[in-house]
């Protein structure tokens, strides 16, 4: 009975956060305590250098250590160099330091940090810690949930390093500020009757970066739809469109597909 109660509480927490599980940005809420999730993110983005496309895949593992602290490890692979190959890896951690709960709403704030290593050639001015650049990011995220709508804002400072085999170009700015604004809404079900019901969420995200050394920036818009199946499996489908950019980037518009499965109470 105790194990069933723990599972019930975990599933309740997962369902209540369904519309907070954004595609491009990480919300202030954490992975359920004691859970481990496996995710595979894929993207097919336009290659501005060749006119073709760049396929990338990122396997990830996330561990919810407790209700306030989670960690994630990611690997990055792409087909930019004659076939699919390893381009880098990163470690991510997030600590939730503020929670304000009400009957039909809650507010969360968290601090996060990321360290990434890349072995690839540095192709662009924009700093991308998802396989293209070595470096770190530190920032703050705040998320407000009101009934079926979640709004989340993120700001982080990014510092790029030399990649393992390539120096960072002297005419590129090494530091930047990342920012995002995400809005998600639970579309289905209208009322919960079972945790096995499929949740359908729609989202709209704005994701940008401003280089602090040269003032150049970009801003993308990303609409998406998300399916939470049996309160454990997750499918994200998104399309990214560049709104503007003064930073040179090699991959702009394209599609994302993310698949994730969460195992609850693994480490309790």
pLDDT above 70 as % of the chain: 93
Length of the chain equals 268
pLDDT band for position 194 (cuts 50, 70, 90): confident
Average pLDDT of span 91-103: 95
> Is the pLDDT reported for residue 6 higher than 60?
no
> Is the pLDDT reported for residue 1 higher than 70?
no
Query: Could you tell me which of 202, 215, 214, 205 has the C-alpha nearest to residue 243?
Result: 205
> Is the pLDDT reported for residue 15 higher than 50?
no
Count up the domains in the chain and report the number. Answer: 1
Query: Could you tell me which of 104, 43, 38 has the C-alpha nearest to residue 237?
Result: 43
Average pLDDT of span 178-191: 94
Q: Residue 155 sits in a domain of what CATH number?
A: 2.40.160.40
Average pLDDT of span 6-32: 68
pLDDT, tens digit (0-9, with 9 covering 90-100), for 138-181: 999 999 999 999 999 999 999 999 999 899 999 999 999 999 99
pLDDT band for position 14 (cuts 50, 70, 90): very low
Check residue 195 and give its pLDDT: 78
> Is the pLDDT reported for residue 4 higher than 70?
no
β-bridge mates for residue 242, sequence order:
220
pLDDT band for position 17 (cuts 50, 70, 90): low
> Is the pLDDT reported for residue 204 higher than 60?
yes
Check residue 51 and give its pLDDT: 83
Query: What is the Cα–Cα distance from 91 to 60, expressed in whole angstroms?
Result: 10
> Is the pLDDT reported for residue 50 higher than 60?
yes
Q: 139 and 155 in contact (C-beta within 8 Å)?
A: yes
Asked if residue 268 belongs to a domain, the reply is: no
Query: What is the Cα–Cα distance from 262 to 60, expressed in whole angstroms?
Result: 12
Asked if residue 16 belongs to a domain, the reply is: yes
> Is the pLDDT reported for residue 16 higher than 80?
no
Asked if residue 69 belongs to a domain, the reply is: yes
Check residue 103 and give its pLDDT: 83
Check residue 19 and give its pLDDT: 66
- Give me the domain span that covers residue 48: 2-263
Report which secondary-structure segment, H or E, holds 13.
Answer: helix 2-16
Asked if residue 234 belongs to a domain, the reply is: yes
């Amino acid at each position: 009975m105790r194990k069933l109660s723990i599972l019930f509480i975990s599933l309740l927490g997962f369902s209540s956060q369904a519309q907070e599980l954004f595609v491009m940005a990480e919300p202030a809420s954490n992975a359920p305590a004691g859970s481990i999730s496996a995710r595979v993110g894929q993207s097919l983005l336009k290659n501005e250098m060749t006119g073709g496309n760049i396929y990338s895949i990122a396997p990830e593992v996330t561990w919810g250590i407790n209700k306030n602290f989670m960690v994630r490890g990611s690997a990055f692979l792409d087909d930019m160099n004659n076939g699919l190959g390893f381009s880098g890896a990163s470690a991510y951690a997030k600590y939730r330091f503020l929670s304000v709960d009400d009957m039909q709403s809650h507010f969360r704030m968290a601090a996060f940090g990321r360290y990434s290593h890349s072995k690839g050639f540095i192709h662009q001015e924009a700093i991308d810690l998802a396989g293209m650049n070595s470096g770190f990011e530190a920032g703050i995220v705040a998320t407000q949930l009101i009934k079926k709508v979640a709004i989340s804002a993120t700001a982080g400072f990014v510092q790029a390093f030399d990649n393992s085999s390539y120096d960072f170009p002297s005419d590129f700015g090494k530091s930047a500020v990342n920012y995002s604004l995400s809005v998600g809404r639970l579309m289905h079900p209208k009322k919960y009757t079972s945790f096995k019901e499929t949740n359908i969420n729609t989202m709209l995200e704005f994701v940008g970066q401003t280089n602090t050394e040269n003032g150049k920036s970009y801003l993308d818009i990303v609409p998406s739809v998300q399916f939470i199946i049996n309160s454990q499996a997750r499918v994200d489908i998104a399309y990214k469109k560049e709104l503007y950019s003064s930073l040179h980037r090699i991959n702009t518009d394209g599609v994302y597909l993310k698949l994730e499965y969460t195992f609850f109470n693994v480490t309790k």
